[in-house]
Structure 1
């Protein structure tokens, strides 16, 4: 792991545990064994660390969504794959999900607008799947938000050592998603 990667990982852990505002560059430096001022050789600012963590998370989610739906023309299967990718990401990257949800308030402009645009793009990708499928929902937008919550909420409670395996949880969340949109999974 490079020094830059170690700094980003320490920032992620500290932002998740303490919050962005309560974390100092000196805290991040101490976590990787570098004095606070030396961090500036590797990163421009604490805000830049937060922006990078959040944009990387959104870029990864968008890319995984595209990969998941690319292999099928069937709208139900595309939604199944998209929800699977979404839930798996949140099961495996709980800290990123937590920081992404809780620290949006800490972004300054223009970074806040940039991250919000990526989030909107990601939500639209689910909305588009619902609109193009044989689904029965009152509100496509609310349905897409509910699908997103299946992953985002999971990030707060899922643990690898829990009662159900990742595959069992993902399977059940996908089934919930399909029922939510009226797809009546097999």
Structure 2
């Protein structure tokens, strides 16, 4: 997710900046500080004072940049889902082959969760901290995102490419892999993000019983051991 530009929610809720007002970069820094604090100590235990201290802003000055910590949480969670949906749409756009579409969708899902671990962690843990209207917005986007995987799997079954008893359970299983990756992956470890994405893409095809899986990874694609 690009915090420099922000997602649809942030753009819709960002006031026009008058002359001499704080820059978007400062707001982005506040949002990133809030994300780190929400992840490390929890949303409810984080105060606006904590967030201000993390970026060197004291007291009421923080409210020139953001209205509340709830606004920050809602932006983070809604923009996360918007980015996942956009990545999914881009992943399937380049091919009509249902097997390749599922692989690419899974790879995009894994890449996001590997590169945005804090967003994934906060989004998974703090859904109950959102006010109802924003919680509904997040849950609606989550349903849309899951449905994209499920309908892809259902299409694969209808075309004879996949063999699975429950497309819904299969889609949940694939989506859960992203949450797992966000909990343990770190840069500089045994696998690169791309290697990890390919591995999980292959696993997704096995979950749906793909009858003709894609080509096996080349020797240089995945580390030995």
Q: Which residue of 1 aligns with 2:196?
A: 169
Secondary structure of 2:45's counterpart equals: coil
Q: Distance in 2 between matches of 1:167 and 1:113?
A: 33
User: Which is richer in helix?
Assistant: 1
Q: Is the 8 A contact 1:90 1:154 kept in 2?
A: yes
- 1:14-163 alignment runs, 5 A limit: 14-133=37-156, 134-163=161-190
How large is the Cα RMSD of the aligned pairs?
1.0
Q: CA deviation at 1:162?
A: 1.3
Q: Distance in 2 between matches of 1:150 and 1:45?
A: 32
Q: Distance in 1 between matches of 2:134 and 2:186?
A: 31
> Mind listing any 5+ residue stretches in structure 2 that lack a counterpart?
5-24, 216-225
Residue number among 150, 155, 178 corresponding to 2:205 in the alignment: 178
> Mind listing any 5+ residue stretches in structure 1 that lack a counterpart?
none
Matched, 1:8 2:31: yes
Secondary structure of 1:159's counterpart equals: coil
Q: CA deviation at 1:167?
A: 1.8
Q: CA deviation at 1:107?
A: 0.6
Q: Is the 8 A contact 1:83 1:147 kept in 2?
A: yes
Bigger-Rg structure (1/2)? 2
Q: Is the 8 A contact 1:28 1:36 kept in 2?
A: no
Q: Distance in 1 between matches of 2:192 and 2:93?
A: 26
Secondary structure of 1:34's counterpart equals: coil
Runs of 4+ residues deviating >3 angstroms: none
